[in-house]
Chains A and B, each alone.
Chain A
Amino acid sequence: MTVTTEVRDLAAAPAARPRTPFSSRISTNRFGLLLIAPVVLLTVAIVVYPVAYSLYISVTSSNPITGTTRFVGIENYTQALGSGEFWRTLLLTLVYVLCVTVLGTLVALGAALLLREKFFGRRFLMAVIVLPWALSTYAAAVVWRYVYSPQFGFAAAVSEHAGGSATDFLTSSSVIPALAAVHAWQFAPLGAYFLLATLQMVPDDLYKLAKVDGMGVFSRFRNVTLPYIRVPLAIFLVLIGGQAATAFDLIYFLTSGGPGGASRTLPFFIYEETFQNQRLGSGAAMSWILLVVVVVVTVGYYTFALRVGGGKTKEEDR
């Protein structure tokens, strides 16, 4: 009885076909698009929309008191570009970026070259060196306030111990390098790891051959090491430069843009305009100008870096 029923059921049913998965029923392109759709939606919501909105704000002027908003076209941009305050803060930003980039790169490169060598305590040092990068910016700022403080600071204590007097590192003439040093201190470990990864791929034989050829330390660095690290170094320079150009938190926590505006970089100025003075249009316009500056400088830098390197990458050199 049971067997008969089963046979009847099978006969009644259409010919059984293996189930085709959904992914096989649509084209590869469509399936790919479906897979990335959630990420695209998220990106639109948290990046594209705010950025587009910021662009919209930059062509409006709103009065927080009356609650009125009006379209002003490029007025915010022309006002910013015509303001001496804007150019002062932009110049300060460029100086800050230069200081951070140079200091950060030197420290990162030095640390990477050191860690490439084999010596006692290397592993410990590799672990320790990452600590500044692991700290929050606020914590780093607190630590460095106590390093720089002429009253309670570490630097002042060392100086006084050596018979000198306490130095104020945050005067108007020294505040930018002092801030840059902290920024570089915090960001350099990332560069060190970045460069170290590439350095470990350089065959030791190349250094041995270079020594046989009579190359000195600098010559070996220029002819053996540099060609390998040129690309990661360029990427690190862009990262640290971009980071410095948009730095706000460290400056806010350490100096609040002071003394007297001496560390008031463009991002800080944008913050003041947008959040303290409630001039959203002006703040947004300056943000966009900053973005353009960063893009132009970066692309210019890459063009230069590639030209210096003969326009070929490490792989192409091989």
Chain B
Amino acid sequence: MTTTRRTFLKRASFAALAAGIGGPLLSACGGSASTGAGATSGAALSAPSAGAGQLNMRIWGAFPDFVRSQTEAFTKAYGTKVDLGIVAGDYPAIIQNQLRQKQQLDLIYSLGHLPKAWRQAGWIHDFDRYWAKDAAMGEMLPVVRDALTIDGRLIGLPYFAFVNGALMANKQVLATAGLDSWPTTYDELYAQVRQVKRSGASDTPYLPSFWSAPWYGIPFGFVQEAMNRGMPLFGKGGQPEFDESSGGVVDMLSQWRDLYSENLVPKGVLTFQESDWIETYAAGGIAYSPQLQYDLRTFNDPAKSKAPGQFVAVPQQGQNWGMLHMGIYLIGNRGQSDEELAQAYSLAEYFGYRDRTSGEFVVPTGWAAQNNLTQGYAEVNNSPQVEAAVRKWLPDADEQWPILKDYMANPQYAKNLYHTSWALEWMSHASRELPQAVNGDADVKTVVRSLREKAEKLIQEYGE
């Protein structure tokens, strides 16, 4: 068979089309179903007297066995089946598209910066018609209640509530470096980090939240450290309160740049994933790291850590370390009937509040006691059962237990940013911009200007 130039070119065009068509196909998958803003209106519902049908619950891949055991327990107790699905990959983007396409989602996980947009788009139900709304809100930690109240309505129930950026210390490294006092500010912290390096106790004494992910990582670290330093980045309605000419944020990012260029932080930190961030600190040899509070257990677990018993939380002395990090149970709006919505509330209640039958915090206590996943309720976090469970693995328990309680007593929360409908997009932008300030690819002031301009542009587009 001969191949002429014409047929060859024709085939080449088809081959190229076939190779390139993936993009348009991908973009077509975005779908376009839209709903517009909406709120759950009507009288409060009554708790269902019997189970019915099936509820679809979608979660990210944390402790799926525990969740499955609880959905099974729920089905057994209340008679409603639960289809549990674990979403792998870019959870917010995937769930967001599923919500937009009105897929059958009843109960889903969310982080604090996502529900505002989803609610405004009418993709989720709020909890205004939940029969125990007032009781649940009354028992929540004030900061949690505030975080879960958007436009005056309760938008979900707490899945977890702990501090992101809780400052952890490795006692072994600090002892080798001869340090015996805790830092009370970031300036003191960074001074100690340099001291540890000079002493030779650690080559990379600090592991910051520089790791990059579109919905997590470095943007959280940025917002959190700025708040801890007393610089609220965003005012009411998400108005940016920082710019390249005001010192605070520029100074902070310049310090980050110094930490990086002086090799005080591990190599490759800018492309770390969450697992790298945890594993690297658990491997020992690093003095300080702002981490998720619940990972303190991981760091002291002999099966996962190379220095179990050495990791402690640094006490807060005047300045907060970290900010509130919230997981939330939300209910998807797929046009459910009142009866279906009541069943969904029932499942959310079982997971995020009290078990109706026993009146106990069954799942929340399980999370806190078994996985150190502290909750949005003081009664759970401070319960003797949880305290006893935590003390089993917590080093220096008498000293550390009050410190952990203090972290949850009055954590800061980035409400002004998170309660905008564009928080996810701004954080996505920040996750690309901030590393460039850290590694010197871009000037710090340029990055700060870009972060501000992005917020202003988004306000223009989506409103406050």
Q: Which residues of A contact B (CB under 8 A)?
A: 47, 50-51, 53-55, 57-58, 60, 62-69, 145, 148-152, 166-168, 170-172, 175, 231, 235, 238-239, 241-243, 245-246, 248, 252, 254-262, 264, 267, 270-272, 274-278, 280, 283-284, 286-288, 290-291, 293-295, 297-299, 301-303, 306, 311, 313, 315-316
| Docked-complex contact B121 and A64, CB < 8 angstroms | yes
Q: Are A65 and B120 also in contact (CB < 8 A) when A256-B213, A276-B93 are?
A: yes
B267 to chain A, nearest CB (A): 4
| Docked-complex contact A58 and B121, CB < 8 angstroms | no
Q: What are 11 A-to-B residue pairs whose CB atoms are below 8 Å?
A: A55-B24, A62-B32, A145-B273, A151-B267, A166-B267, A170-B268, A238-B15, A260-B432, A276-B90, A278-B100, A291-B21
| Docked-complex contact B24 and A66, CB < 8 angstroms | no
Residues of A within 8 A of B36 (CB): 66-68
What CA separation (Å) do A168 and B273 show in the bound complex?
Answer: 15
| Docked-complex contact A272 and B5, CB < 8 angstroms | no
- Apart from A50-B29, A68-B34, A170-B268, what 13 extra A-B contacts exist at CB < 8 Å? A50-B24, A63-B462, A66-B36, A66-B37, A171-B270, A175-B271, A235-B15, A275-B93, A276-B92, A276-B215, A287-B27, A291-B23, A302-B12
| Residue of chain A at shortest CB distance from B15 | A238
What CA separation (Å) do A140 and B254 show in the bound complex?
Answer: 36
Residues 350-409 of B at the A interface (beta carbon under 8 Å)? none
Residues of A within 8 A of B215 (CB): 276
| Docked-complex contact B462 and A58, CB < 8 angstroms | no
The answer, yes or no, to whether B237 is at the interface (CB within 8 Å) is: no
- Partner of B34 from the list A55, A69, A150, A259 (CB cut-off 8 Å) is A69
| Residue of chain B at shortest CB distance from A231 | B3
The answer, yes or no, to whether B428 is at the interface (CB within 8 Å) is: yes
A130 to chain B, nearest CB (A): 21
Residues of A within 8 A of B16 (CB): 238, 242, 294-295, 297-299
A172 to chain B, nearest CB (A): 5
What CA separation (Å) do A277 and B32 show in the bound complex?
Answer: 13
| Residue of chain B at shortest CB distance from A46 | B25
Residues of A within 8 A of B90 (CB): 252, 275-276
Q: Are A151 and B280 also in contact (CB < 8 A) when A303-B9, A313-B3, A315-B2 are?
A: yes
Q: Are A57 and B28 also in contact (CB < 8 A) when A258-B271, A270-B23 are?
A: yes
**Which DSSP category, helix, strand, loop or mixed, fits chain A's interface?**
helix
- Partner of B19 from the list A148, A243, A256, A288 (CB cut-off 8 Å) is A243
What CA separation (Å) do A255 and B120 show in the bound complex?
Answer: 32
| Docked-complex contact A290 and B97, CB < 8 angstroms | no
Q: Are A258 and B432 also in contact (CB < 8 A) when A67-B36, A294-B16, A302-B9 are?
A: yes
B278 to chain A, nearest CB (A): 12
Return the 9 tightest CB-CB contacts between A and B, nearest first.
Answer: A242-B19, A260-B435, A298-B16, A67-B36, A287-B23, A294-B20, A67-B34, A259-B270, A54-B28
Residues of A within 8 A of B270 (CB): 170-171, 258-260
- Partner of A151 from the list B27, B93, B94, B268 (CB cut-off 8 Å) is B268
What CA separation (Å) do A58 and B26 show in the bound complex?
Answer: 12
The answer, yes or no, to whether B266 is at the interface (CB within 8 Å) is: yes
| Docked-complex contact A278 and B23, CB < 8 angstroms | no
| Docked-complex contact B267 and A150, CB < 8 angstroms | yes
| Docked-complex contact B428 and A274, CB < 8 angstroms | no
Q: Which of B34, B273, B424, B441 gathers the greatest number of chain A CB atoms within 10 Å?
A: B34
Q: Are A261 and B20 also in contact (CB < 8 A) when A57-B30, A276-B90, A302-B12 are?
A: no
